[in-house]
Amino acid sequence: MAEMMYWQGILRAHDEEMARDPLVFAMGEDIGVAGGTYKATSGLFAKYGEQRVIDTPISENSYTGIGVGAAMIGARPIVEIMSVNFAWLAMDQLMNNAAKIHYMSGGRIRCPFVMRVPGGTAHQLGAQHSARMEKVFMGISGLRVVTPATPRDAYGLLKSAVRCDDPVVIIEHESMYNLKGEIPDEEFFTPLEGVEVMRPGKDVSIFAYNISVHWALDAAQKLAQDYGIDAEVVDLRALKPMDRAGIAASVRKTHRAVVVEEDEAPVGVGSEVMAILNEECFFDLDAAPVRVHALDVPIPYNRHLEKAAIPNAGEVVAAVRKMLGR
């Protein structure tokens, strides 16, 4: 095992896949000479050259379209959108071309296209650079959507996405690029489907994804130390398709569920998990499931208001204690 930062895991995956397959290339704003806003492509321009590490104009729809078209004829592009808010500008290419072409061509054309998008709140970047768009991507048939919570998964999910013949959106988090964690020295792949139990427990299941996994783990530690509550933390990780069986398996063990997300509540990941709980686990629940989520407001620039707008580990602890009456 080597300790690496989140961005280093992404960089390593890029490097390995580009060295393996000359049809893998990267493109996006400032990813070449500058090495990427979060350093996730640093050094690749010097190693692979301007034809495989492509600096683009500020035109998300155009370079996403170039990537989608290249994927349709056999290349394997990794397109980076500098901030998930800007992915709105690329939605025509992503939704109407990348996600649809396999079906519309009767299975004759595949689109092995990867889009990497950093999102979430990140230290006063303001409302136009702090979006959480998981719910949008999840609503597009034909896309796979994954979101790594650790450096290990940042590496493993990108490796799997590049090898996948479907279009994959990888949602990273702007606050986690310097997060450290162990990554095995040998090559490995994180599945694009399925949950991961990050901490086993017996009293309550806490479902989370992306940065909220870390709030859940912190909360679980405090619940165990201070209140004797044994919480299971489940990283949803693959948001589309979502692992209904994995979610149900955890709840059938603990009989209680709390869903934690950085996003607002309406029509989100938490809503989908709640629907699964109702459809799959209704008679296994000993209490009504609870959601912990952001306020339904644009993310403020003021740092105190920004902090108040999004959930934290303390709110997760409070939700679990209320559910269990402790």
3-state helix, strand, coil in the chain (%, to 5): 40, 20, 40
Can you list the positions of beta strands (E) in 195-295?
A: 196-199, 204-208, 231-235, 238-240, 257-264, 290-294
| pLDDT of res. 127 | 85
- May I ask the CATH class of domain 196-324? alpha beta
| pLDDT of res. 58 | 95
CATH superfamily of domain region 2-183: Thiamin diphosphate (ThDP)-binding fold, Pyr/PP domains (3.40.50.970)
d(CA 46, CA 49): 6
Q: Which residue has the tokens 């296994």?
A: 284
Domain with CATH 3.40.50.970 in the chain: 2-183
Contacts of 208 (CB under 8 A, 6+ apart): 149, 215, 216, 233, 234, 235, 236, 259, 260, 261
Domain with CATH 3.40.50.920 in the chain: 196-324
**Over 90: is that where the pLDDT of 32 sits?**
yes
Active-site residues: which are they?
Answer: 60, 129
- Reported pTM: 0.96
Q: Strand, coil or helix: what is 189?
A: coil
Q: 215-273: per-residue pLDDT in tens? A: 999 999 999 999 999 999 999 999 999 999 999 999 999 999 999 999 999 999 999 99
Q: Strand, coil or helix: what is 140?
A: coil
Confidence of residue 75 (pLDDT cuts 50, 70, 90): very high
DSSP character at residue 141: T
Residues 107, 97 contacting (CB under 8 angstroms): no
Confidence of residue 128 (pLDDT cuts 50, 70, 90): confident
What is the distance of C-alpha 14 from the center of its chain?
17
